[in-house]
Structure formats: structure tokens, C-alpha cells
Amino acid sequence: MTKETAPERQNGCVLSIAGLSIHYPLRHTTIRAVENVDLAVHGNEVLGLAGESGSGKSTLALGVLRLLRPPGRVTAGQIHFDGVELLEQSEGRFRELRWRRFAYIPQGSMSALNPVMRLQDQFSDTLVAHGERMAPAALRARCTEALHGVGLEPDILPRYPHELSGGMRQRICIALALLLGPQLIIADEPTSALDVISQRVVLETLAEARRAIGASMLLIGHDMALLAQVTDRLGIMYAGRLVEMSTTRALFANPQHPYTRRLIASIPDVKDRRAFVSEAGESEAQWPLDAPMVEVAAGHFVRPWQGGEGSSREGAAG
């Protein structure tokens, strides 16, 4: 099971993406939803990916999971998962990997629960579908453990999804996603359908359940305050590109790129209500997104922009 292999996942890369581009070719134009993205998710780490709607976060996740919707396709790059190049795998081999080692928690996943099926049957179906055969007592123990992992009691198992609150339904989805002990969790705005209070609590539950099984997580979101709560490192996406990547602590303590600063400034602050103020004179048109990222401090990478520290390197080819 997962727990035995957890320690060896402490080090090294679980997921490593290099030069990844994903495009949607349309009749008159091509949407470059993801362009030349490099990132790595290390063992036992939560990497956050933030950026406004349309910045390419979901496309990146779907590209890794081979779930892109037409006409989306990967046009360049490599995706290594635990040493295996995913893009080179056959459909069958890839499906097996995704099935056994990935957990995908998409936006609004709680609506994916079967409304006419008791929760206990949804749990046993998940286990059976993955080829796990177990006696009823063992099944019950497994479900109980999974529910405890997300702060729920097994007495809800005979219930139907509509009998639960949104927050509880989302916890059930997390429990189902983690039931088979995945090595990598990809969660795309997993709490965005919930109210603000539930979002925090459910996200913390997800983070704890992840920690308990020693999985790594790529956590996508647009709410910087929520992401700050549970991520180890954060990448900031803008128009399909990464513009900044660093530890979450350094990103908040010393944000570099104007877009990162704008995202942080948009967090409503109870002490200082000057929220949503953008920096005077900065213009998105001046952000040269092709220049290579510059390491401004150990592990803190930023895309140079005009007027910024790295601007002397702007002429460099990307």
C-alpha cells in the first residue's frame, strides 16, 4: 500500500514538465493555452498553480491527464511521471497509470457523485472497478478509514448524496479520489463550488488527507489566500506562461512580477482595505513573456518584465 512507499517519495521529482505547450487550433486562430511551461512536483509536496480564469491552468492539468477536449493537443514538451515519459506511453499503459497512481479532483466534482446510489455502493464500486476484491468487513474498514481521513463518520455510508451538504459531498469526492492511495493528486479548483467558510475547511481536509498518504499534489486555484494556506511552492500563470515560481513563503514575502503582486494585492485584507490597487504605470503589454525566467534567489524564478530587475535580459531569446 501507499504508506510503505511514502518515505521513498520524500525526495526527487514525481512529476516533471519541460517545455510543455498545449494549443487549441480553431478555424481562424490558434489559442496557445499553455506555452513552454516547465515545472516539477516533488515527493510529498504541494505545488500550487495560480492565475486568473483563462490563464491555462486547467488545460495544463488536462494535458498531463490526457483528458484534453478537442481540438486541444500537446504541441511540444515532455511530461515525466515517476521516471516515465507520459507522452510516449500507449493509451492502454497510460490509462493504467492514471487509474492506479493519479487522483484527479476536478472543479465541481461533487456533482459527479451518482445521485441515485447510496454512498457505500459508490465506495465499493470504486474499489471493485479497480480490481480490489475484499470481504464485506474489510470493505467496511477501508471505507471507514477513508471517511475518517476526510473528517466524516461511517454512519453516512447508507445515505444518498442529496442528503449531505455541499462540503460533505466534496469530502466524499476527496475520500473516493484518495481511496486507492494515489502517488499524485491533481486537484483543479477543488473547493470553488463551496461557500467561503467551507472552502477553507475542505481544502485543509484535502491537504491533511494528502499528507496522511504521502502523496504529492498539484493544486490549481485562483484564490491566493486559499492557496497560501496549503501549498509548499507556488507557480503563477499568466496567458499560458509561468511568470513566477518559488516557495509560497518567498512568493508572498518578496513577490517580483507585477502580475504576482497584483494577485496578492487582490486578496481582501481586513486591516488594509486598499485592495485591488494595481501598481501605477505597469502595463501588461510590456510583459515580454518569451524571455527566459531568471533566478532572483535560490529557487525563486521570475519572468523578466520591462522596468523590472531582470529587464536587462529582456533581449535574450526565449
Ligand X SMILES: Nc1ncnc2c1ncn2[C@@H]1O[C@H](COP(=O)(O)OP(=O)(O)O)[C@@H](O)[C@H]1O
109 binds Mg ion (CB under 5 A): no
Provide, rounded to whole angstroms, the least separation between the CB of residue 22 and ligand X.
Answer: 8
58 binds Mg ion (CB under 5 A): yes
201 binds ligand X (CB under 6 A): no
Task: Using CB under 6 A, pick the residue from 18, 31, 265, 289 that binds ligand X.
Answer: 31
Kindly indicate which of the ranges 37-45, 56-64, 73-81, 286-294 contains the residues binding ligand X, using the contact rule CB under 6 A: 56-64
Task: Using CB under 6 A, pick the residue from 53, 155, 271, 285 that binds ligand X.
Answer: 53
72 binds ligand X (CB under 6 A): yes
Half-sphere exposure of 127 (CA within 13 A, CB side): 19
In sequence order, what are the residues at sequence separation of 6 or more whose Cβ sits closer than 8 angstroms to the Cβ of residue 280?
none
Kindly indicate which of the ranges 2-10, 54-62, 91-99, 256-264 contains the residues binding Mg ion, using the contact rule CB under 5 A: 54-62
Query: Which entry of Mg ion, ligand X, none binds 51, CB below 5 to 8 A by partner kind?
Result: ligand X
* Total count of residues recorded for the chain: 318
User: Please, which residue, 53 or 90, has the CB nearer to ligand X?
Assistant: 53
DSSP 112: G
State the Cα–Cα distance between residues 314 and 318, nearest whole angstrom: 9
11 binds ligand X (CB under 6 A): no
191 binds Mg ion (CB under 5 A): no
Cα separations (Å) of 195 from 6, 192, 200, 205? 33, 8, 9, 15
264 binds ligand X (CB under 6 A): no
State the Cα–Cα distance between residues 19 and 265, nearest whole angstrom: 30
Distance of CA 104 to the CA centre of its chain: 9
User: Please, which residue, 24 or 160, has the CB nearer to ligand X?
Assistant: 24
55 binds Mg ion (CB under 5 A): no
Q: In what order do the strands lie in the sheet with 30-42?
A: 30-42, 13-25, 73-81, 84-85
Cell digits for 217? 499534489
Q: What are the residues binding Mg ion (CB under 5 A)?
A: 58
